Amino acid sequence: MHTKIKELLQFGTVGAQVEAKGWIRTKRINKQVMFLTLNDGSCQQSLQIVMSPSELPKELLSQLVTGASVTVSGRLVASQGANQSVELDGHHLTLLGNALDYPLQPKAHSLEFLRTWAHLRFRTNTFGAVFRIRHAISYAIHHFFHERGFFYLHTPIITAADAEGAGELFRVTTLDTPPKHPDGSMDYSADFFHTATNLTVSGQLAAEAAAMGLGAVYTFGPTFRAENSNTTRHLAEFWMVEPEVAFNTLDDTIVLAEALLKFLLDYVLKQCPDELDFLNQRLLSHSHAEEATMTLLERLQFVLEQPFARITYTEAIAILAASNKHGQFVYPITGWGMDLQSEHERYLVEHHFKRPVVVTDYPKAIKAFYMRQNDDGKTVAAMDILFPGVGEIIGGSQREERMDYLTAVMQHIGIQNLNWYLDTRRFGTIPHSGFGLGLDRFVLFVTGMENIRDVIPFPRTPGHVPC
Half-sphere exposure of 8 (CA within 13 A, CB side): 38
Backbone angles phi, psi at 71, to 5 degrees: -115, 130
Residue type, 107: K
- The per-residue DSSP string of 17-50 comes to EEEEEEEEEEEEE-SS-EEEEEE-SSSSS-EEEE
In the list 22, 388, 438, 459, the residue contacting ligand 4AD (rule: CB under 6 A) is 438
Nearer to ligand 4AD, 86 or 217 (CB): 217
- Residue 202 contacts ligand 4AD per CB under 6 A: yes
**Spatial distance between the Cα atoms of 170 and 190, rounded to a whole number of angstroms:** 19
For 27-46, give one letter per residue: b (16+ CB within 10 A) or e: beeeeeebebbbbbbbbbbb
In sequence order, what are the residues at sequence separation of 6 or more whose Cβ sits closer than 8 angstroms to the Cβ of residue 392?
342, 345, 384, 385, 386, 438, 441
Using alpha carbons, select from 216, 199, 137, 213 the residue that is nearest to residue 434.
216
**Spatial distance between the Cα atoms of 199 and 161, rounded to a whole number of angstroms:** 9
Q: How far is the CB of 372 from ligand 4AD (least distance, A)?
A: 12
- Residue 396 contacts Mg ion per CB under 5 A: no
Q: How far is the CB of 375 from ligand 4AD (least distance, A)?
A: 21
Residue 465, burial from CB neighbour count under 10 angstroms (0-12, 13-18, 19+) = exposed
Nearer to ligand 4AD, 169 or 240 (CB): 240
Nearer to ligand 4AD, 89 or 227 (CB): 227
- Residue 448 contacts Mg ion per CB under 5 A: no
Q: How far is the CB of 293 from Mg ion (least distance, A)?
A: 28
Q: Show the CA angle centred on residue 348, arms to residues 283 and 438, nearest 5°.
A: 65
- Residue 123 contacts ligand 4AD per CB under 6 A: no
Q: How far is the CB of 157 from ligand 4AD (least distance, A)?
A: 15
Using alpha carbons, select from 386, 406, 394 the residue that is nearest to residue 340.
386
Binding footprint of ligand 4AD, residue count (CB under 6 A): 23
**Spatial distance between the Cα atoms of 151 and 211, rounded to a whole number of angstroms:** 9
Nearer to ligand 4AD, 225 or 344 (CB): 225
215 to each of 35, 144, 145, 244, 433, how far by Cα in Å? 58, 16, 13, 8, 11
Q: Which does 399 bind (CB under 5 to 8 A by kind): ligand 4AD, Mg ion, none?
A: none
In the list 435, 444, 446, 453, the residue contacting ligand 4AD (rule: CB under 6 A) is 435
- Residue 447 contacts ligand 4AD per CB under 6 A: no
Q: Which does 225 bind (CB under 5 to 8 A by kind): Mg ion, ligand 4AD, none?
A: ligand 4AD
**Spatial distance between the Cα atoms of 458 and 140, rounded to a whole number of angstroms:** 23
- Scan residues 135-164 and list those touching ligand 4AD (CB under 6 A): 163-164
27 to each of 49, 55, 62, 91, 126, how far by Cα in Å? 10, 16, 11, 17, 19
Half-sphere exposure of 274 (CA within 13 A, CB side): 16
- Residue 395 contacts Mg ion per CB under 5 A: yes
**Spatial distance between the Cα atoms of 393 and 370, rounded to a whole number of angstroms:** 20
- Residue 391 contacts Mg ion per CB under 5 A: no
Binding mask 16-45 for ligand 4AD (x = CB under 6 A): ------------------------------
Q: Which does 37 bind (CB under 5 to 8 A by kind): Mg ion, ligand 4AD, none?
A: none
* Distance from the Cα of residue 40 to its chain's centroid: 23
- Scan residues 220-239 and list those touching ligand 4AD (CB under 6 A): 225, 227, 234-235, 238
Q: How far is the CB of 350 from ligand 4AD (least distance, A)?
A: 17
Nearer to ligand 4AD, 356 or 438 (CB): 438
Nearer to Mg ion, 391 or 395 (CB): 395
Nearer to ligand 4AD, 220 or 238 (CB): 238
- Residue 313 contacts ligand 4AD per CB under 6 A: no
Q: Which does 276 bind (CB under 5 to 8 A by kind): Mg ion, ligand 4AD, none?
A: none
Q: How far is the CB of 345 from Mg ion (least distance, A)?
A: 10
- Scan residues 362-401 and list those touching ligand 4AD (CB under 6 A): 392-397
Q: Which residue blocks in 100-246 are alpha helix, DSSP H?
A: 111-115, 125-147, 204-214
Q: How far is the CB of 409 from ligand 4AD (least distance, A)?
A: 15
In DSSP terms, which residues pair with 29 in a beta bridge? 34
Backbone angles phi, psi at 239, to 5 degrees: -110, 135
Q: Which does 441 bind (CB under 5 to 8 A by kind): Mg ion, ligand 4AD, none?
A: ligand 4AD
Interface ranges with ligand 4AD (CB under 6 A): 163-164, 202, 204, 225, 227, 234-235, 238, 240, 242, 392-397, 434-436, 438, 440-441
Interface ranges with Mg ion (CB under 5 A): 395
